[in-house]
C-alpha cells in the first residue's frame, strides 16, 4: 500500500494547531503499520532548514495558470516518514502559514505541485490522502483527470476533515484561471454562491474521514454541518470517524525535554516541581496546594471562551489559579488581560504561540479546561491525561469520545464532562473538579486513570490502513 499524505502543516515543519500534530505523526505511524507512506508539504520560510536532508529536484515543472512554473523539492526524514517539501517562495515565504487574500491560489498551487511531484517520482500512489480545505484542490484535480485515465487513473482519494468550519472559500470567478473548466468541474466547488475547495474535495473524493466517530455523526446535522450537512448525509456511507492519536515521542512527561522535571504514573513527584516552576514562570506565588486551572488554545469561539469568560471570576474566588496560553480574537485577548490586571496574583497569561510553554503548562497544571462549542477531535485533553492534568470538557465530538466521566463509586474515569453549552453547566463541573482536587486519594486515582490510557497512534494507523484497502472495494 503506497500512500501520499498531503498537508499544509506538519510538525516539525509547520504548526498552527492540531492538524500540524496529526500530520507530523500519522505518516510515521503508517510507516510503522507497513505502509509505504510519504508526506508532501510546502517549504515555508519559517521551516527550519536544518531539517532538510537533500534537494531532490530543482526543476519540477508544474502546469499553472495557463503556463508552466518550475519549483525545487527538498526531502526530509525529520517526521519519521519521507517528507517532500515544495519550495515556491512567492507563495510560502510569507512569515506565516495562512491568512492571505490569495490563500486559494497558494494551496491550489501546492496541490498542483504535489500531483506533478508524484508524476516525476514515477510511482503512482494507491491512495492520495488529503487534509482539510488546502488539499481539496488535489482530490478534485485527480477526480477531474481520471476521465482520461493516465498516470493517477487508479489512485484512490481520501479526504480527512479536521474542521468543517474552515471551507477555503473564494470567488468562483477565479476557478477558470486556477485551471478548472466549467460544468461539473466548477459545480463541485459551488457552495452558497462561493467556491469552496473543501466542498469540492468532499464531493469528489472516494471516501471521507473525520477525526473522531462522534464528530462524523454531528456534521450530518444542521448545527455542526456548517452548510455542508446535506453533503455529509448524502455521503454517509463513505464517511468514517477515526479518533486521532497522541505522539508519545513528543508528548510524554517521562522524557519531555521542555520540562524542568520528569514524572510517571508510578511517581508523580516531578509534577510538583513542574507546577512550582510554572508558577514562577508566570510570577505567581508558590502555593503548591492551590489548584492551577489551565487553557492552551487558539482564542476563537469554537473553543468555548464565551463560557470561560463567564466562569473565570468564580473560578478564582473558588480558590484557583488560572493560566492561559494563546492568541486570537481581540475580545478574548482583552478579557484575559483584564482578568490578569484584576487578579495579578492569581492569573498568568501568555499571548502568542509557544510550543515549550504548552508542554510546561500541560505538566504544571492540575485541571485543563476545554468547554468547546464543537471539537472535531481535540488533542490537548489527551495530552492533559498523559500529563496527569485532569480535563474538564464539554461532551462534544472527540472530547466526548476520549474523556470518561469520573465515577467516585467505581473509581473509574479520566475527567469531568458537561453537556449543555452554558456557563452554569461548566461552572458546576469546574466546582466538582475543584472539590475532588482536595480529596487527594480520589484525585490521584483520576490522574492515574488518565495517565494509563493508551492513545498512541498505532491503533488509529491500523484503522486508516483498513480504510485505504476498503477504497478498492467501493
Angle at 67 between CA 55 and CA 190, to 5 degrees: 100
| Distance, C-alpha 233 to centroid of its chain | 24
319 binds ligand ADP (CB under 6 A): no
Task: Find the binder of ligand GLC among 17, 82, 172, 328 (CB under 6 A).
Answer: 17
Which residues lie closer than 8 Å to 365 by C-beta, 6 or more apart?
275, 278, 292, 293, 294, 323, 384, 389
| Distance, C-alpha 44 to centroid of its chain | 19
Longest distance between any two alpha carbons in the chain, whole Å: 69
**Alpha-carbon span 407 to 411, nearest angstrom:** 6
**Alpha-carbon span 427 to 402, nearest angstrom:** 21
Minimal distance in Å, beta carbon 250 to ligand GLC? 14
Minimal distance in Å, beta carbon 404 to ligand ADP? 18
**Alpha-carbon span 150 to 211, nearest angstrom:** 32
- The DSSP code for 473 is G
Residues 423 and 311: beta-carbon distance below 8 Å: yes
Minimal distance in Å, beta carbon 152 to ligand ADP? 30
Closer to ligand GLC at the Cβ: 17 or 260?
17
Minimal distance in Å, beta carbon 136 to ligand GLC? 15
Minimal distance in Å, beta carbon 140 to ligand GLC? 21
Which residues lie closer than 8 Å to 379 by C-beta, 6 or more apart?
18, 21, 22, 244, 246
Residues 174 and 144: beta-carbon distance below 8 Å: no
Minimal distance in Å, beta carbon 26 to ligand ADP? 13
| Binds 315: which of ligand ADP, ligand GLC, none (CB < 5-8 Å by kind) | none
Kindly indicate which of the ranges 12-20, 93-101, 148-156, 226-234 contains the residues binding ligand GLC, using the contact rule CB under 6 A.
12-20
97 binds ligand GLC (CB under 6 A): no
Taking CB under 6 A as the rule, which mask of x and - marks residues 353-372 in contact with ligand ADP? xxx--x--------------
Which residues lie closer than 8 Å to 343 by C-beta, 6 or more apart?
316
461 binds ligand GLC (CB under 6 A): no
Taking CB under 6 A as the rule, which mask of x and - marks residues 361-380 in contact with ligand GLC? --------------xxxxx-
Task: Find the binder of ligand GLC among 41, 156, 162, 445 (CB under 6 A).
Answer: 162
Phi then psi for residue 223, to 5 deg, are: -60, -40
Total residues binding ligand ADP (CB under 6 A): 17
The grid coordinates listed for 365 are: 497544571
DSSP string computed for 402-426: H--B-BTTTTB-SBEEE-SSSHHHH
Q: How many residues does the chain have?
A: 474
Residues 372 and 378: beta-carbon distance below 8 Å: yes
Q: Which residue is nearest to ligand ADP (CB)?
A: 18
**Alpha-carbon span 276 to 278, nearest angstrom:** 5
DSSP H or E run through 312: helix 305-317
| Binds 211: which of ligand ADP, ligand GLC, none (CB < 5-8 Å by kind) | ligand GLC
Residues 279 and 287: beta-carbon distance below 8 Å: yes
Kindly indicate which of the ranges 18-26, 145-153, 288-296, 461-469 contains the residues binding ligand GLC, using the contact rule CB under 6 A.
18-26
Binding residues among 381-410 for ligand GLC as defined by CB under 6 A: 398
| Binds 262: which of ligand ADP, ligand GLC, none (CB < 5-8 Å by kind) | none
Closer to ligand ADP at the Cβ: 178 or 370?
370
| Binds 291: which of ligand GLC, ligand ADP, none (CB < 5-8 Å by kind) | none
Binding residues among 254-313 for ligand ADP as defined by CB under 6 A: 296-298
Binding residues among 325-344 for ligand ADP as defined by CB under 6 A: 325-326
250 binds ligand GLC (CB under 6 A): no
| Binds 297: which of ligand GLC, ligand ADP, none (CB < 5-8 Å by kind) | ligand ADP
Which residue, chain included where needed, has cell 461548566? Answer: 426
- The DSSP code for 470 is H
Determine how β-strand 367-370 pairs with β-strand 292-296.
Answer: parallel
Minimal distance in Å, beta carbon 305 to ligand ADP? 12
| Binds 41: which of ligand ADP, ligand GLC, none (CB < 5-8 Å by kind) | none
Task: Find the binder of ligand GLC among 3, 6, 11, 19 (CB under 6 A).
Answer: 19
Task: Find the binder of ligand GLC among 169, 211, 461, 471 (CB under 6 A).
Answer: 211
**Alpha-carbon span 64 to 71, nearest angstrom:** 11
**Alpha-carbon span 15 to 24, nearest angstrom:** 9
Closer to ligand GLC at the Cβ: 22 or 202?
22
Residue ranges binding ligand GLC (CB under 6 A): 17-19, 22, 162-163, 211, 244, 375-379, 398
Residue ranges binding ligand ADP (CB under 6 A): 17-19, 21, 296-298, 325-326, 353-355, 358, 377-380
Amino acid at each position: 500500500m503506497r500512500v501520499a499524505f498531503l498537508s499544509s502543516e506538519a510538525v516539525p515543519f509547520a504548526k498552527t494547531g492540531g492538524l500540524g500534530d496529526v500530520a507530523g505523526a500519522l505518516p510515521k505511524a503508517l510507516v510503522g503499520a507497513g505502509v509505504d507512506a510519504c508526506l508532501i508539504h510546502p517549504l515555508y520560510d519559517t521551516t527550519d532548514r536544518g531539517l532538510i536532508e537533500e534537494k531532490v529536484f530543482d526543476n519540477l515543472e508544474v502546469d499553472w495558470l495557463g503556463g508552466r512554473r518550475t519549483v525545487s523539492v527538498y526531502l526530509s526524514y525529520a517526521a519519521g516518514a519521507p517528507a517532500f517539501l515544495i519550495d515556491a517562495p512567492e507563495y510560502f515565504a510569507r512569515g506565516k502559514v495562512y491568512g492571505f487574500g490569495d490563500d486559494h491560489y497558494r494551496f491550489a498551487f501546492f496541490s498542483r505541485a504535489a500531483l506533478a511531484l508524484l508524476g516525476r517520482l514515477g510511482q503512482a500512489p494507491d491512495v492520495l490522502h488529503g487534509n482539510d480545505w488546502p488539499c481539496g484542490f488535489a482530490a478534485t484535480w485527480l477526480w477531474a483527470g481520471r476521465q482520461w485515465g493516465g498516470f493517477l487513473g487508479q489512485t484512490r482519494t481520501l479526504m480527512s476533515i479536521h474542521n468543517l468550519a474552515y471551507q477555503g472559500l473564494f470567488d468562483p470567478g477565479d476557478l477558470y484561471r486556477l485551471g478548472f473548466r466549467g460544468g461539473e468541474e466548477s459545480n463541485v466547488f459551488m457552495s452558497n454562491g462561493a467556491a469552496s475547495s473543501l466542498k469540492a474535495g468532499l464531493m469528489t473524493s472516494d471516501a471521507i474521514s473525520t477525526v473522531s466517530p462522534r464528530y462524523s455523526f454531528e456534521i450530518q446535522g444542521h448545527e455542526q454541518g456548517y452548510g455542508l450537512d446535506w453533503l455529509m448525509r448524502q455521503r454517509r456511507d463513505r464517511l468514517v470517524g477515526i479518533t486521532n492519536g497522541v505522539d508519545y515521542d513528543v508528548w510524554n512527561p517521562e522524557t519531555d525535554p521542555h520540562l524542568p522535571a520528569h514524572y510517571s504514573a508510578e511517581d508523580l513527584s516531578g509534577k510538583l516541581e513542574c507546577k512550582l516552576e510554572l508558577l514562577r514562570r508566570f510570577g505567581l506565588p508558590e502555593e503548591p496546594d492551590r489548584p492551577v486551572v489551565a487553557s492552551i488554545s487558539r482564542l476563537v469561539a469554537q473553543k468555548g471562551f464565551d463560557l470561560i469568560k463567564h466562569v473565570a471570576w468564580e473560578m478564582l474566588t473558588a480558590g484557583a489559579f488560572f493560566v492561559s496560553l494563546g492568541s486570537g480574537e481581540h475580545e478574548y485577548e482583552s478579557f484575559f488581560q483584564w482578568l490578569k490586571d484584576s487578579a495579578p496574583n492569581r492569573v498568568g497569561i501568555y499571548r502568542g504561540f509557544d510550543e515549550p510553554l504548552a508542554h510546561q503548562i500541560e505538566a504544571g497544571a492540575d485541571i485543563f479546561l476545554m468547554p468547546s462549542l464543537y471539537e472535531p477531535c481535540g488533542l490537548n485533553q489527551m495530552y492533559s491525561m498523559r500529563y496527569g492534568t485532569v480535563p474538564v470538557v464539554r461532551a462534544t465530538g472527540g472530547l466526548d469520545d476520549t474523556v470518561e466521566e469520573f465515577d467516585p463509586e467505581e473509581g473509574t474515569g479520566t475527567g469531568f464532562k458537561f453537556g449543555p453549552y452554558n456557563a452554569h453547566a461548566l461552572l458546576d463541573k469546574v466546582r466538582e473538579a475543584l472539590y475532588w482536587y482536595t480529596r487527594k486519594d480520589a484525585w490521584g486515582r483520576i490522574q492515574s486513570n488518565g495517565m494509563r490510557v493508551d492513545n498512541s497512534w498505532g491503533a488509529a494507523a491500523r484503522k486508516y490502513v483498513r480504510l485505504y484497502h476498503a477504497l478498492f472495494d467501493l
